[in-house]
Amino acid sequence: MPRKAGDNAQTPDPRVRAVDALMTLAAAHEWNAITLPMIAEEAGLSLADLRDLFPSKGAMLGGFIRRIDRITLEGRAEDLADSPARERVLDLMLRRFDALLPYRAALGTIHNAFRSDLAGLLALNQQALNSWRYLLASAGIETEGPMGFLKLQGAILVFARIFPVFLDDEDEGLTRTMAALDRELSRGEWVLARAEGIDRFFAPLRGFCRAAKQAREERRHAPGEADAA
């Protein structure tokens, strides 16, 4: 659970205190109204100490995201290892939403602030790529290569589309969030199945191109080729 204002002084790790302070303030103030001195005061730190820890509010938000990553990764369900990929991803996303639930008021403020901030959205997408690379790996899903990247970006898109539903879901069991996730994952499976079909269709052509390139390289470096040139 988020710590109450005043509890930060009892937290020994100043980085934790700074991130907690940011989320506490975001629950009560507009994002752009939150200043660095406000965060330092809420965290019980000097502004100089805060500067040593984080260069910006965005970096503190990145620290919060890494915290949620750790909670999600540590709570993975080992008994789903043999389940279909869809079930593993569904479990992963629900666990992440559960980890975010105590911070929903702050997240609503942050979501509203970033919706029209293109640079901020690009930065958040990079954070998401870093997060979901590990999260999907924990679910046994490959993220390397073109198809892996498609799965990675697809997971980010699904989570982003469901996020506003999560913010407004007042049911304790997140019923609306679960239903929306189920629909989006079904849609994502449909897109991925067709992308994999296209990938298989072009696989022989890619293999031919690689073999042709390798043959050219071998001829270029074969003994006598340089003299003949």
The total number of structural domains in the chain stands at 1
CA 160 to chain centre: 9
| Domain-embedded: residue 12 | no
The pLDDT tens digits of the residues spanning 86-126 come to 888 888 999 999 999 999 999 999 999 988 888 888 888 88
State the number of CA atoms in the 13 A half-sphere of 2 facing the CB: 22
In the chain, the amino acid numbered 18 is: A
In the chain, the amino acid numbered 136 is: L
Does residue 8 have a pLDDT over 60? no
Query: Which residue range(s) make up the domain with 149?
Result: 80-229
Structure tokens at 153: 């970006």
Mean pLDDT over each residue of the chain, to the nearest integer: 81
Structure tokens at 143: 């993220």
| Domain-embedded: residue 186 | yes
The pLDDT tens digits of the residues spanning 57-75 come to 999 999 999 999 999 999 8
Cα distance between residue 190 and residue 41, in whole Å:
50
| Domain-embedded: residue 120 | yes
Structure tokens at 127: 């954070």
Cβ atoms within 10 Å of 208's Cβ, excluding its own? 10
> Distances from the Cα of 133 to the Cαs of 61, 96, 155, 158, in angstroms?
18, 14, 10, 15
Do 62 and 127 touch, CB atoms closer than 8 A?
A: yes
Does residue 188 have a pLDDT over 60? yes
The pLDDT tens digits of the residues spanning 117-155 come to 888 888 888 889 999 999 999 988 888 887 888 888 888
| Domain-embedded: residue 1 | no
pTM of the model: 0.76
| Domain-embedded: residue 43 | no
| Domain-embedded: residue 93 | yes
145-150, long-range: CB < 8 A, 24+ apart: 146/199, 147/195, 147/196, 147/199, 150/192, 150/195
